[in-house]
């Protein structure tokens, strides 16, 4: 699996995530261009965001696994009125992307999206801010 593309976004993250001992593998993977999550050893369920217990069977034996950074746009909205931390970025789009493995996640959308883009291919990205990383998605390049 090739690493996800990186998009440089000057300035700090509008709302920096809290990195814990548990979530550190996710952020380390993102730094390598991988999107990781947890898979339950008991029932095989994937979950996103990664949690320290399975949402399906409540099992606590989990493995970190990579996700294919491709999916389809399920839904999106364009934000015009935002909390203070995000106010300088309006308008911006956030969307729900259904990854190929069946995981649905919410993330920032980079580039222009319209209702015609619903159910169209998307690719996941590493968003590189001055103070750290986030992830997002954009319309997949044809080909």
Per-residue pLDDT of the chain (143 residues; tens, 9 = 90+): 789 999 999 999 998 899 999 999 999 999 999 999 999 999 999 999 999 999 999 999 999 999 999 999 999 999 999 999 889 889 999 999 999 999 999 999 999 999 999 999 999 999 999 999 999 999 998 76
Alpha helices of 1-143 — where are they, by DSSP H? 24-31
Structure confidence at residue 13 (pLDDT): 93
- Using alpha carbons only, give the angle 133, 88, 73 rounded to the nearest 5 degrees: 60
Residues 49, 119: Cα–Cα separation, whole Å: 22
Structure confidence at residue 141 (pLDDT): 84
Range of the domain at 108: 5-139
Cα 119 vs. chain centroid, distance in angstroms?
Answer: 17
Task: Tell me how many domains the chain contains.
Answer: 1
Locate tokens 């992830």: which residue?
A: 135
Three-class DSSP category at 55: coil
Residues 112, 13: Cα–Cα separation, whole Å: 20
Q: pTM for the whole thing?
A: 0.92
């Amino acid at each position: 699996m090739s690493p996800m593309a990186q998009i440089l976004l000057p300035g700090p993250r509008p709302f920096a995530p809290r990195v814990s001992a548990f979530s550190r593998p996710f952020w380390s993977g993102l730094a390598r261009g991988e999107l990781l999550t947890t898979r339950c050893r008991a029932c095989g369920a994937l979950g996103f965001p990664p949690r320290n217990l399975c949402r399906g069977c409540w099992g606590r034996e989990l493995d970190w696994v990579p996700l294919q950074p491709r999916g389809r746009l399920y839904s999106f909205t364009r934000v015009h009125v935002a909390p203070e931390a995000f106010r300088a970025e309006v308008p911006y789009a956030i969307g729900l992307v259904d990854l190929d493995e069946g995981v649905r996640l919410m993330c920032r959308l980079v580039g222009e999206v319209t209702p015609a883009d619903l159910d169209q291919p998307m690719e996941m990205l590493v968003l590189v801010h001055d103070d750290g990383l986030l992830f997002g998605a954009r319309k997949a390049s044809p080909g």
